[in-house]
Structure 1
Amino acid sequence: MTNTPDENGASADAERDDLQERVEAVLLGGERKYTRLEVAERAGVRPERTAMLWRALGFAGAADDEVVFTDADVEAARIANGFLESGLIDEKTDTAMTRALGHHLSRLAEWQVQLVTSWLEQRPDVAESEEQFAQLVEAAVPAIERLQNYVWRRHLAAFAGRALATDAQLETRSQAVGFVDMVGYTRMTRRVDRDQLSTLLERFEGLATGVVAEHHGDIVKMIGDEVLFVCDSPVEAAEIALTLTEQAEADEDIPEVRAGLAYGRILSRFGDVYGSVVNVAARLTSAARPGTVLVDKELADALSGREEFALRSKRPISVRGYKRLKPMVLRRA
């Protein structure tokens, strides 16, 4: 006896539902079995606080009768509330920290899903086998989780070591801020396909990540065709900007870049940087010619006397927010 088309369709839908439940159980750490109010009750947390945490993490609100939460959600709410009850942080800081955590990890998760999707396009044998795909998820997710925890601990150790080695406040201290962006990127995106654009961005990000790390800087964020980085040392920041400019020029697959650097006190908050120094660096980048690095007076003063660099004054420029910005061109001596 053969199945009818309707029966085949129903069977396929049932298999997909089973696969989704299996994958979801791995990703969420268990089955969905609680409402929002039940999570609050089990965690010993006020319902309005669980709703606030959920929104701060970047998730859409759940109705009171929706069964969408797991034991892991209960445990997370309990841990988050423990920070407040211990007095380690206040509610305002807790909300900001949760928002930053949700923002950065959502971008990481999106990239990982895109990576897996791209890989599956090249492996139709796995994509068409629901059993193989489920096994892949079950094997890969715990390994990725352990790797992410390792990377986080290494970065935590690096930042903690830096904090213990200085008397300066980490949130507001003097640093060099730099922007490096690809020239003509917008125009180029109109004549290349998606795969070419993806390859270009991957190449630029790889170059920027390597150079910034080699010179003890930190990437704040990659913004498409642009990288924003900070560095405690003005000398190392200058090396980053010059090296990126030189290596991009030598790589025929990457357009020319331009850079802007400024130095002074900045506000560093939950993975991002703020203040006039950041704004000046951005304006200098916009004013720089292809293949050049512009710096502000403060960074130029910090580099004065260094034999490996040459600085040349330019006429004051008028840019948004600054009527007479005095840039200097930075080159190797």
Structure 2
Amino acid sequence: MEQEPIERDGPGEPGIEEALLGGERKYTRKQVADLADVPLERVHRLWRALGFAAADDDDIIFTDADVEAARMGYAFVGSGLIDQELDAAMTRALGHFLSRLAEWQVQVVWDWLVKQEGMNVDEFDIARVVEATMPTMERLQNYVWRRHLVAFAGRAVTLEAGVEAEERTQIIGFVDMVGYTRLTRQTDEHTLIDLLERFEALAADTISGHHGRIVKMIGDEVLFVADTPDDAVAIAFDLGERARLDDSIPELRTGLALGRVLHRLGDVFGETVNIAARLTSIARPDTILIDANLAGRIRADRAYELRSLRASVRGYSRLRAYALRRRENGRPSTRHH
């Protein structure tokens, strides 16, 4: 599509701050607290928890939107739905996740602008693109958020009786690319970015396709959860097979563990998570290692072959590990691992 020329109307054009904030900075922190009828310390804690730089009490950096946000947030806590301790944790998590999203979006806009012929990129250009795209982005982000709310609400009501939503029995999976550290020293930036994007796309498609959920991507590694052994094993095998078909992606190694998992603010914790990570660290390239709990659940399935290993894992001296393979035509695989 042909890009229409952007005309500047003069020095009165709004910059990127006004375009994004919807108004000028005109309040100090105390004025925000007074206008919102919120304790001053509450405004200070909110600002810091969201991950923004520290500001002095007399700095004029806040807008009408900040006043409204402080008022809404304080009323939300006052409703009794969440306590102040959880509110602080939720605020930190929200600031962390959205800061990463914002960084990525600004980078996308910047990359697009620098590719436009004859355009000298400045704050005006970024502001105009943001103004033009922000309504659509806000609607799309709200749509995705609501769809995820539906998915997680559905999971919550189907949990086994007596189990808290924060803790349940699941399978944790870690998958990482073999030799990634070496690649970072030998590969140029653009090739490395392309590799990470291909790996993330592969992981997202495979994991969601087998009813799993990505908890986080950590460079060359993906952490995911699955509700059933069949789903977890299918994810592990399919990821490995699809990676082998893509010459640009190194071999993968995988660790799977079944047990109680603590969920908090989108992340997972507990011994099961630690075991899965340790299994991945000792797995050979193109190998899937599982713990004894998961092995016990799939041992009777003739589609798989289990081989017990002597595992030396830091912090788990008695950990039993098993190499998991698919049988070929009902017979043990002859493939070397």
Given the two structures, how large is their TM-score scaled by the length of structure 1? 0.91
> Is residue 257–residue 290 contact of structure 2 (8 Å, CA) maintained in 1?
yes
Counterparts of 1:105-124 in structure 2, within 5 Å, are 105-124=98-117
Per-residue deviation at 1:29? 2.2
Work out which of the residue numbers 171, 177, 180 in structure 2 matches 1:182: 177
Counterparts of 1:242-321 in structure 2, within 5 Å, are 242-315=237-310, 317-321=311-315
> Is residue 127–residue 133 contact of structure 1 (8 Å, CA) maintained in 2?
no
Partners of 2:47 and 2:176 in 1: CA distance: 35
SS in 2 for 1:261: strand
Partners of 1:303 and 1:126 in 2: CA distance: 60
Per-residue deviation at 1:307? 3.1
Partners of 2:30 and 2:324 in 1: CA distance: 59
Per-residue deviation at 1:121? 2.3
> Is residue 114–residue 121 contact of structure 2 (8 Å, CA) maintained in 1?
no
Query: Which residue type is aligned with residue 158 of structure 1?
Result: A
> Is residue 16–residue 123 contact of structure 2 (8 Å, CA) maintained in 1?
no
Partners of 1:100 and 1:29 in 2: CA distance: 24
> Is residue 234–residue 302 contact of structure 1 (8 Å, CA) maintained in 2?
yes
> Is residue 182–residue 255 contact of structure 1 (8 Å, CA) maintained in 2?
yes
**Structure 2: unaligned runs, 5 residues or longer:** 1-9, 328-337
> Is residue 256–residue 290 contact of structure 2 (8 Å, CA) maintained in 1?
yes
Structure 2 residue 313 is the aligned partner of structure 1 residue 324: no
> Is residue 19–residue 127 contact of structure 2 (8 Å, CA) maintained in 1?
no
Cross-structure match for 1:192: 187
- Show CA shifts across 1:201-255 (max 9, x none): 0000000000010011110110000000011112101111111111111211100
Q: Which moved more, 1:167-176 or 1:299-308?
A: 299-308
Seen in structure 2, the aligned counterparts of structure 1 residues 268 and 113 have a Cα distance that, compared at 3 Å, is same
Per-residue deviation at 1:127? 4.4
Per-residue deviation at 1:128? 4.1
Work out which of the residue numbers 66, 71, 75 in structure 2 matches 1:73: 66
Structure 2 residue 168 is the aligned partner of structure 1 residue 173: yes
Aligned residues: 317
> Is residue 245–residue 256 contact of structure 1 (8 Å, CA) maintained in 2?
yes
Per-residue deviation at 1:267? 0.8
Cross-structure match for 1:39: 32
SS in 2 for 1:178: strand
Q: Which moved more, 1:91-100 or 1:242-251?
A: 242-251
Partners of 2:128 and 2:105 in 1: CA distance: 17
Partners of 2:270 and 2:232 in 1: CA distance: 18
Cross-structure match for 2:18: 25
Seen in structure 2, the aligned counterparts of structure 1 residues 170 and 62 have a Cα distance that, compared at 3 Å, is same
Work out which of the residue numbers 93, 114, 137 in structure 1 matches 2:130: 137
Given the two structures, how large is their TM-score scaled by the length of structure 2? 0.90
Query: Which residue type is aligned with residue 325 of structure 2?
Result: R
Per-residue deviation at 1:145? 0.9
- Show CA shifts across 1:22-61 (max 9, x none): 3211211221111111111111110001100111100112
Q: Which moved more, 1:109-118 or 1:305-314?
A: 305-314
Partners of 2:187 and 2:95 in 1: CA distance: 33
Structure 2 residue 42 is the aligned partner of structure 1 residue 49: yes
User: RMSD between aligned alpha carbons?
Assistant: 1.7
Work out which of the residue numbers 73, 94, 97 in structure 2 matches 1:104: 97
Query: Which residue type is aligned with residue 34 of structure 1?
Result: Y
Cross-structure match for 1:6: none
SS in 2 for 1:293: strand
